[in-house]
Chains A and B, each alone.
Chain A
């Protein structure tokens, strides 16, 4: 049997899992969101709605922490039997120590095969990879085949996003190569990408509407219609903007599936409300 494990940054909602028919196959290990002294397990103790409420109401910025190796050990042990295979797919190791916790945990098991994969992505970039892997596992495909599929998807993934302010990325230390854009007198809305698993600046744009436009323009430039397989529009407290973006994507890439989802608390903590992004898988 092949089991699929991931973490809560995958932003996979129960609906998404049910729709794909893999809700029994995928196990999500939660990260933790800290508001001051309070701790919430992402997706377990804290819903998206509550999180964004607290984000705007609370003065202090929330922090996040990765699951411990022990948490992974528990999950691995619970979900599987000796002789089983587990594919543990996680967000970029450069964004979080989650991958490392999983890797450490996997070494504790000699009686089952545990493959830990750094997908170099996050949110539904990770989530869609997990879904496809789970569907393949359900169909009965073998471990090597599924892994090859996973690696192919990792290579073909593009992530572009715009944040309202760099403050969240900066204060949480995930700003990566966009460090140089921090501060500044102009109200610049940076267009960012995830490249090689870290945040990288693409372009400086002024004006929110313009930033969104540029994001779409660049995407259209990089991914011609025939090359796009599917994608997702992600947002943090910007649902109507996300809908508009999805419609633009639908126009440009007719017949392709675009999910629209709100970022979960863990990712939301790091980018802040108003964030808008697209992830697409090319061919």
Chain B
């Protein structure tokens, strides 16, 4: 009679990871927003990898499960990753004290996992990974009670999960409209398929070859896809400056027709290392470490159009990082001696935002990366590095809310999460920062200040899509507010006007435009003037946000 062992769980998780990696682009594309932001599969992959990497010499099922749970909790990124980490956590609770598990014990542990996932989410919605997980566990229990063995139970559980996944469009309108199933749910099912293959002893497809990391990036999660928080790797402390061979972390999207991932890969390979190329014939993401970013762009330009270009000098980044670590939290504005009473830690993407937030007294910025999805562990590191007695955490993206809550549970430092869902909200909240105030009062004021801010995000649609009843063409400028599409325009100027109008900007209101990395100051000033003419009763301010992906983040107060 086959039993579930620690070693088997690791094999199953590794196979799950491999399956996920192979389906990464497809699952990421299930994202209902035609916007390259917060990709579900990428986040789940990173979280899963963190779980697997956390297993060292553990032997028993209980020990392995515990190690994986801890790894997953810290490595959790994005909402999907965080929920997945809760599955691991619940599972570990379910197998505590067990050397091995039989079918029924395994099924019960699945139930614990699903329960943990539900309890982690404030307003659990049906039609998401939660529903799939619940049905998965339920099916497992039913089958185990019938006396089936390990494989039988797992197969039944997978069927239950698949059925639930297929139902998700019926449960969530936005899925139905977009014609997709829930991405998190799909990712979960793909994981189960891989795990089942391992359980059956079938050879799973070998995991997609991981990026060849620089020998220098020791102890760091290897880069998985172009859209990862590669910044994570860049900010790790183990980097030895002298060992960085290729200086520029280069990322971009290529858009076109008839694109070939393989051809692009072959052409870019000689330029450096850590090469990742993923996508399809219309849109490809590239990540590369090279000393000649220009050559990479030229090659890409031969294939199609460049989007969302970013080049980061890792050597400089590391110099600054090492410097600031040596100087301690004092470098970031916290008092050099003695513990600060309260410190603000915020997640931000964009140099402009970083500068503004630090200017308002934010002690530490956690880089959000292209997709604004730091791991729970990175948040914990920042919280503890602040050296304060109490930390107020600003997540600044709805995809980070869960991760932020999780981080607050993973550290001894008292943390209050002020649930900001945008960077402009963070600016409004940070304005009220007063280190003399008690943390609760300060958090309350910041919450109120953030709530008074309405934010709109402007970005270009990555692909044609149907969303909220509107037909969107690739390249259209989308205005998103609170996860809803406010407007869709062909031209940026029109989009700006409709966005401000849509936010209900009225007499005496303050409209702030934060322009992204793709725009120049001149362009932004011109847009400011345009809006000043359209809305003469409002005050219009322009600042450089420097954020990736979003042409403008706009706030109205």
A169-198 contact mask (Cβ, 8 Å, vs B): 1 or 0: 000000000000000111110000000000
B427 close to chain A: CB less than 8 A: yes
Contacting residues, chain A, for B431 (C-beta < 8 A): 186, 188, 204, 206
Q: Is B541 an interface residue (CB 8 A)?
A: yes
State whether A187 touches B508 (Cβ < 8 A): no
B543 touches A210 (CB 8 A): no
Q: In B336-367, which residues have CB < 8 Å from any A CB?
A: 355-356, 359-360
A residues within 8 A CB of B356?
185-186
Instruction: Assess the B541–A187 pair: CB atoms within 8 A.
Output: yes
Judge whether A155 is part of the interface by a CB distance below 8 angstroms.
no
- In A73-109, the 8 Å CB interface with B consists of none
Q: Inside 8 A of A206's CB, which chain B residues have their CB?
A: 428, 431, 510, 512, 541, 557
Q: In whole angstroms, how far apart are the Cα atoms of A142 and B507 in the complex?
A: 53
B509 cross-chain contacts in A, Cβ below 8 A = 207, 209
Name B433's closest neighbour in chain A (CB-CB). A204
Residues of chain B lying within 8 A (CB to CB) of residue A208? 539
CA–CA, A184 to B430, complex, Å? 13
B360 touches A207 (CB 8 A): no
Q: Which residues of chain B come closer than 8 Å to A209, judged between CB atoms?
A: 507-510, 539
Q: How far is the CA of A185 from the CA of B510 in the complex (A)?
A: 16
A243 to B104, CA, bound (A): 79
Give the chain A neighbours of B355 by CB distance below 8 A: 185
Interface string of A243-283 (1 = CB under 8 A from B): 00000000000000000000000000000000000000000
Interchain CA distance A187-B427 in the complex, whole Å: 12
CB distance from A207 to the nearest CB of B (A): 3
Asked if B432 contacts A207 (CB within 8 A), the reply is no
Question: Quick one: given A207-B557, A209-B508, A210-B510, are A185 and B543 in contact (CB under 8 Å)?
Answer: yes
Picked from B432, B507, B539, B543, the residue with its CB within 8 Å of the CB of A186 is B543
Quick one: CB contact mask for B516-557 with A, threshold 8 Å, 1 for yes?
000000000000000000000001010100000000000001
In the assembly, what is the distance between CA of A210 and CA of B427, in Å? 16
Tally the A-B contacts, defined by beta carbons under 8 Å: 38
By a CB distance below 8 angstroms, the chain A residues around B508 are 207, 209-210, 213
Inter-chain contacts of A207 with B (CB < 8 A): 508-510, 539, 541, 557
A121-B330 Cα distance, complex, nearest whole Å: 38
| Given A204-B431, A207-B539, A210-B557, A184 and B359 contact (CB-CB distance below 8 Å) | yes
CA distance A206 to B512 in the complex (A): 10
A204 to B356, CA, bound (A): 14
A186/B557 contact (C-beta < 8 A), A206-B510, A207-B539 known: no
B359 contacts A185, C-beta separation under 8 Å: yes
Cα–Cα distance between A40 and B512 once the two chains are bound (Å): 42
A145 to chain B minimum Cβ distance, whole angstroms, is: 41
Most buried by A among B427, B509, B539, B543: B539
- Most chain A CB neighbours (cut-off 10 Å) among B355, B507, B510, B512: B510
Q: Which residues of B contact A187 (CB under 8 A)?
A: 541
State which residues 358-407 of B face A: CB under 8 Å: 359-360
Please report the C-alpha to C-alpha distance between residue A184 and residue B433 in the assembled complex, in whole angstroms: 14
- Chain B residue with minimal CB distance to A186? B356
The distance from the CB of B248 to the nearest CB of chain A, in whole angstroms, is 27
Chain B residue nearest to A212 in the complex (CB): B508
Cβ–Cβ < 8 Å partners of B428 in chain A: 206
Cβ–Cβ < 8 Å partners of A185 in chain B = 355-356, 359, 543
- A184 partner residues in chain B, CB cutoff 8 A: 359-360
Check if B432 sits within 8 Å of A204, measured CB to CB.
yes
Q: Which residues in B have their C-beta under 8 angstroms from that of A188?
A: 431
Q: Please give, as numbers and ranges, the residues of chain A lying within 8 Å of B510 by CB-CB distance.
A: 206-207, 209-210
Chain B residues near A204 (CB-CB < 8 A)? 431-432
CA distance A188 to B510 in the complex (A): 12
CA distance A241 to B184 in the complex (A): 55
Measured between C-beta atoms, what is the minimum distance from A231 to chain B in Å? 23
How far, in whole Å, are A209 and B536 apart by their CA atoms in the complex?
13
Instruction: Say how far B547's CB is from chain A's closest CB, in angstroms.
Output: 15
Q: List the A residue with the shortest CB-CB distance to B361.
A: A180
Residues of A within 8 Å of B360, CB to CB, are: 184, 186
Q: A183's closest neighbor in chain B, by CB? A: B359
Residue of A nearest to B452 (CB): A210
Assembly CA distance A204 to B539 (angstroms):
17
Cβ distance A182 to chain B, nearest Cβ, rounded Å? 12
Within 418-434 of B, Cβ neighbours of A (below 8 Å) are at 427-428, 431-432
Whole-angstrom CA separation of A185 from B358 in the bound complex: 10
Using Cβ atoms and an 8 Å threshold, which residues of chain A touch B432? 204
Chain B 282-311: CB-based contact to A (< 8 A → 1; otherwise 0): 000000000000000000000000000000
Least Cβ distance of B421 to chain A in Å?
19
Q: Residue on A with the closest CB to B512?
A: A206
Q: With a CB–CB cut-off of 8 A, which chain B residues contact A213?
A: 508
Q: Which residues of A contact B507 (CB under 8 A)?
A: 209
Residues in B9-42 with C-beta less than 8 Å from chain A: none
Report A-chain residues with C-beta under 8 Å of the C-beta of B539.
207-209
User: A204 — nearest CB in chain B belongs to which residue?
Assistant: B431
Q: From A188, which residue of chain B is reached at the shortest CB distance?
A: B431
Nearest chain-B residue to A209 (Cβ)? Answer: B508
**Which 7 residue pairs spanning A and B have beta carbons closest together?**
A207-B510, A209-B508, A185-B359, A185-B356, A207-B539, A204-B431, A184-B359
Q: A184-B359, A184-B360 are in contact. List 6 more A-B contacts (CB 8 A).
A: A186-B356, A206-B541, A207-B541, A207-B557, A210-B510, A213-B508
Instruction: Identify the A interface with B (CB < 8 A).
Output: 184-188, 204, 206-210, 213
11 contacts between A and B (CB under 8 A): A185-B356, A185-B543, A186-B359, A186-B360, A206-B428, A206-B431, A207-B509, A209-B509, A209-B510, A209-B539, A210-B510
